Structure 1
Amino acid sequence: MTSTSGPAFPLTTAGWIPVVDRAAGRVREVGLLEALTRAHELQLAVQPGQETAVLLRWLVTVYDAAAGPDDTNAWDQAWRADDLDPHGRVADYLRRWEHRFDLYHPDAPFAQCGHLNQFPRPPAVLDPAYLAGAGAALFHPALRDPAGPPLPPAEATRNLLILLGYDVAGIKGAPGGGKTYGAQLGPLATSTRLHVLGRTLAETVLLNLPPQPRAEGDTPVWERDCPDPAVQIRRPAGRLDYWTWPARRIRLHPDAHSRVQALAWHDGDRVADGLYATAELDTLAVWRRTARGTLTPAQPLDDWTEHPLPWTLTRPLRPDTTWTHGALTHTLHAAQRGTLPPDYPLRVEVSQTLTGPHGSTIQGIIGGTVDLGPAHLHTTHTTARALAYCDQKATSLLGYTRAKIKTMPFGGDQGNPAEKRVALEPHAADRAWARLLAELAELADPTDLDQLTAALAPFAEQLAELIEGSLDALPWASAHWTRRLDLDTRVWVNNVINNIPTTLGPPTSPTETKPVMGPEGRRRGRDACAGRGLRSSP
């Protein structure tokens, strides 16, 4: 099938971005212009995971290219403005580049390769489920039809951007015939994604956009010449280039009703030096710095439950950890400057892509939404240290228990080791975390050790109970070993409570008296321990 032209579908004004319109009181699809100029009245209305990661990435990029703040002063002014486009820069920019935002432009279609004119693939391959491999058709009837019905342009646009961000690695068909080998995994599938959630779309865009000037030569894909069909290996010129990276050469072929009836799909640009060359540019991914100083994707999701461990996501907010996330750190700095109010609710959405061998299939997108409490918990020294203490202790308890299980005379099987099944029930862990945040947020005096103990002791107690419940559920665990582990867990609770003064109290010199808990702190500690059959330290 050959074509060189097609109907127009202008992404600037045609509806394709699902939003909750507070003014209209309903869910609508809007174009880029309305999404950004009315972002203070809108919120994205898509499922967490792929669609959120993709749409937010492109919205942030368009705003950054048009009117992105280049320093903190400009960002603070943008935050305090009534909307994202108080001076009309976004509208002017989209009018200037409107021709490059046409999904079916005859020469330079949006985010595609206009040089392709053979369309051998059916529209069904645009379905994100197609990336799961041959077995996906068992669960997605739409994939069973080799051709499939034509796709409406709005759905095709969203699926196109998902394909550019998440396409699998491996062998791809070459333009004109033949094959190419070694295609890289899509840029959004290579790392753990994390987005800071604002109260409106405008706030979400700004919170996920650390201010910086545009780097020399850095342009988004629509400001560049339409790429050649051949594979290119290069380094990104900057974050605008990388955030709109043309990882594949795709071209959609519409029918007379603007529906996609076929497409071309080939390998595209590859990042020289791979993942490590992009870590500094990708401020919407969670990274962990290794002992060698390189950045690698962080893992805030539990292996067994595939659910976020909420306390781990406070790590990018602390300078003493190896975890980093550009947008979350930028949000913390805005709170420290006073631009964000102390009670501003910090919420994040995290997602991680599970891939098959060699990245050849996508087996799932896991994640969830995590509350991190009001901003002042992370800007106040004592409560920030308390959250760090909880993260440290919760991580050590889970790791210690799993390590113990691994050495014991039962272990499940190779594909399902027992230590992995020692996990925290996700909803109960979330409730314990929410209670901790609420109690810390309501402290009359965050420096008072009695009040800190009263807030932290129930959290330790609840985590220990969850670990014990997980141990009880192991079908192959003997009563002797589970009793032994239960005793260790109870000792852990006692140690957490009694170490609060030395860990969270003011620093002491060898000649000073160490801080001690007052009567209320000791009473709460004794109550927590008594519930577990323990004696607290005298």
Structure 2
Amino acid sequence: MPFNLLERRWLPVLTRDGPDRMSLRGALARAHEVRLAGLPEDHTALLRLLLALYASAARPADTGEWDAVWRSPSLESERTGAYLDAHADRFDLFSPTRPFWQCAALSEPNREPDVLEIATWGSGVAQFASHLLLPPEPMAPQDAAVALVLMQSWHPGGIQSGHPDDPASRAGKVYGGKASPLSSITHLRITGQTLKDELLLNCPPGQRSFGDRPVWERDAPAAPMLAREPDGPLDLWTWPTRRVRLFPDEDGHVTDVAVHDGDRPADPGAAAVRWDPGAAVTARGTRLAITDAGRQPLPWAAARILAPEHDSGGCTVLEHLAAAAERGTLPPQSTWQGVALRAEHTTAHRAALSGIVALHTALGPAGVLGAPGRRAAFAEMAALPWLVQRQITRTASEALGIISAIAAARPGLSLAAHLLYAWEEFAENPDAGADGWVQVLAAAVDRVADSAGGDLMAAARIRTDALATLPAPVDLPEEGRP
């Protein structure tokens, strides 16, 4: 039974009338009217699929084209429609020869449908997803399509099922499997009012790299695992992390699944940092932290990497947002938000998923993002909590006689616990709020010092040393202020 993702309604969206499902073709045609729905990890994975589709068909080649599409009421439909028509046979979920994002060479199922659920990719399945203790039920094709995208995007690494034709297979297993692209990085998605906005905000203009093709433009994969490197963002956005085959019953519901190891880059994180514009990294090239050691959220983390210095890290979509603001394409008074996601694993080999942390982060007004001096000052304000926390941890470790790792993980010594909504308020109007932000940080230092376990000397040292890292009250510079 065919289930073509270009024509069948499977993609979860929000319309003016509420939640709905749309086909890929319908979502692109009405991208100016709808938004993607679902949990943050679903939303981001599905958006990357749509980015690959849109960029393959009609990615703006330069900033002039990008600005024109941004100002247009809808996405350009003629090129996109022609592209979809040319590749329509590659989007059938159950095609016998080219099943979408799958491997037709897999003829024998080895798992039940629950293998597609994120809850099965880690430990403690029964505790956190008790329905998995029951016999698995057939999965509706629209749900299986979403789950397939999530598996290829988020699946962890480690030992994988080996296909009989795979020479690397030992006793039915292959070792050293790599985590999927999203599972290997901190990913930042710029949010928008519509799907059209999100596609453009997360798709910087540019030319297709030589050899870069999405999965539907590539030859059908053989069953064995393949060691290779991505050729560009289109390849990475649709990376075949696993060889998968969905087996439907006569009603089109998935009753069995085959899952084996797929394509392996040498270093998935490095490959994603090179090609995924949403990869957010530190200056060392490591994944940007979005929680502190005590697992408190750090909503200023993304804004910190707006700093012009090379030691602050980077993210291409954030640079793209700032460049659009600097050109005046984005209204100066508009304020911008992002969603940062980071997969957490139970082992250093990323062999099991313990959770996916999602963080909504305020990125400030376009008027600040588009003025280099004001943007740098904004990033400096975003760096202050990190500097203060570092000093708190250092002093607390010395004054309380505990190692730094224990001090950093103590909830009472977390500055971030007192700053979540304060950052949102500051980022909405940083021109007027710099002094207030410093004062809020100082007040948070007082509350942290009071948590020093009744040791008045330690509390005094923590307070004095941490406050010394804060600047005197300052204003953001006048440059570019409307």
Q: Residues 107-186 of structure 1: matches in 2 within 5 Å?
A: 107-133=97-123, 135-145=124-134, 147-176=135-164, 178-186=172-180
From 7, 10, 18, the counterpart of 1:26: 18
CA contact (8 A) 2:290 2:359 kept: no
In the TM superposition, what is the alpha-carbon distance from 1:162 to its structure 2 partner? 1.0
Give the whole-Å Cα distance in 1 for the aligned partners of 2:412 and 2:457: 19
From 173, 184, 188, the counterpart of 1:190: 184
Q: Which residue of 1 aligns with 2:48?
A: 57
CA contact (8 A) 1:307 1:366 kept: no
Change (3 A) 1:425 1:319: closer
Q: Which residue of 2 aligns with 1:102?
A: 92
Q: Which residue of 1 aligns with 2:30?
A: 38
SS of 2:46's equivalent in the other structure is: helix
CA contact (8 A) 2:180 2:268 kept: no
* 1:496 paired to 2:472: yes
Give the whole-Å Cα distance in 1 for the aligned partners of 2:276 and 2:375: 26
CA contact (8 A) 1:284 1:327 kept: yes
From 219, 227, 235, the counterpart of 1:225: 219
SS of 1:168's equivalent in the other structure is: coil
SS of 2:305's equivalent in the other structure is: helix
Bigger RCO (CA 8 Å, 6+ sep): 2
Q: Which residue of 2 aligns with 1:323?
A: 313
Change (3 A) 1:222 1:121: same
In the TM superposition, what is the alpha-carbon distance from 1:490 to its structure 2 partner? 4.4
Give the whole-Å Cα distance in 1 for the aligned partners of 2:458 and 2:282: 35
Give the TM-score normalised by the residue count of structure 2: 0.92
In the TM superposition, what is the alpha-carbon distance from 1:352 to its structure 2 partner? 0.8
* 1:365 paired to 2:356: yes
* 1:486 paired to 2:474: no
Give the whole-Å Cα distance in 2 for the aligned partners of 1:11 and 1:117: 22
Change (3 A) 1:386 1:318: closer
Give the whole-Å Cα distance in 2 for the aligned partners of 1:396 and 1:415: 18
In the TM superposition, what is the alpha-carbon distance from 1:31 to its structure 2 partner? 0.9
In the TM superposition, what is the alpha-carbon distance from 1:181 to its structure 2 partner? 0.8
* 1:239 paired to 2:233: yes
CA contact (8 A) 1:232 1:268 kept: yes
Q: Residues 52-451 of structure 1: matches in 2 within 5 Å?
A: 52-86=43-77, 88-133=78-123, 135-145=124-134, 147-176=135-164, 178-290=172-284, 295-310=285-300, 312-321=301-310, 322-357=312-347, 358-411=349-402, 421-426=412-417, 428-441=418-431
Give the whole-Å Cα distance in 1 for the aligned partners of 2:409 and 2:91: 52
Give the whole-Å Cα distance in 1 for the aligned partners of 2:70 and 2:355: 35
In the TM superposition, what is the alpha-carbon distance from 1:271 to its structure 2 partner? 0.7
What CA deviation, in whole Å up to 9, does each residue of 1:325-345 have, x standing for no partner? 111111111111122221222
CA contact (8 A) 1:218 1:241 kept: yes
* 1:464 paired to 2:456: no
CA contact (8 A) 2:298 2:420 kept: no
What CA deviation, in whole Å up to 9, does each residue of 1:240-277 have, x standing for no partner? 11111111100000011111101000001001354324
Give the whole-Å Cα distance in 2 for the aligned partners of 1:429 and 1:191: 25
What CA deviation, in whole Å up to 9, does each residue of 1:301-326 have, x standing for no partner? 3231341332x312333322431111
Give the whole-Å Cα distance in 2 for the aligned partners of 1:402 and 1:193: 27
Q: Which residue of 2 aligns with 1:513?
A: none
Give the whole-Å Cα distance in 2 for the aligned partners of 1:489 and 1:413: 15
- Unaligned stretches of 5+ in structure 2? 165-170
Change (3 A) 1:399 1:165: same
SS of 1:305's equivalent in the other structure is: coil
Aligned residues: CA RMSD: 2.3
- Unaligned stretches of 5+ in structure 1? 1-6, 444-454, 507-538
* Letter matched to residue 353 of structure 2: I
Q: Which residue of 2 aligns with 1:511?
A: none
In the TM superposition, what is the alpha-carbon distance from 1:99 to its structure 2 partner? 1.3
Give the whole-Å Cα distance in 2 for the aligned partners of 1:439 and 1:218: 41
CA contact (8 A) 1:21 1:42 kept: yes
SS of 1:283's equivalent in the other structure is: coil
CA contact (8 A) 1:305 1:423 kept: no
What CA deviation, in whole Å up to 9, does each residue of 1:379-435 have, x standing for no partner? 234432431331233221111011111122343897776656521354x51322233
* Letter matched to residue 356 of structure 1: T
CA contact (8 A) 2:225 2:264 kept: yes
After TM superposition, the structure 1 stretch with the greater mean CA deviation from structure 2, 229-238 or 372-381, is: 372-381
In the TM superposition, what is the alpha-carbon distance from 1:224 to its structure 2 partner? 0.8
Give the TM-score normalised by the residue count of structure 1: 0.83
CA contact (8 A) 2:215 2:240 kept: yes
Identity of aligned residues (%): 31
Change (3 A) 1:393 1:425: closer
CA contact (8 A) 1:402 1:419 kept: no
What CA deviation, in whole Å up to 9, does each residue of 1:485-523 have, x standing for no partner? 223444555x432xx48x9699xxxxxxxxxxxxxxxxx
In the TM superposition, what is the alpha-carbon distance from 1:104 to its structure 2 partner? 0.5
CA contact (8 A) 1:61 1:240 kept: yes
Aligned length: 471
Give the whole-Å Cα distance in 1 for the aligned partners of 2:412 and 2:243: 42
What CA deviation, in whole Å up to 9, does each residue of 1:347-385 have, x standing for no partner? 100111110112121111112211222111122344324
* Letter matched to residue 168 of structure 1: P
CA contact (8 A) 2:158 2:352 kept: no
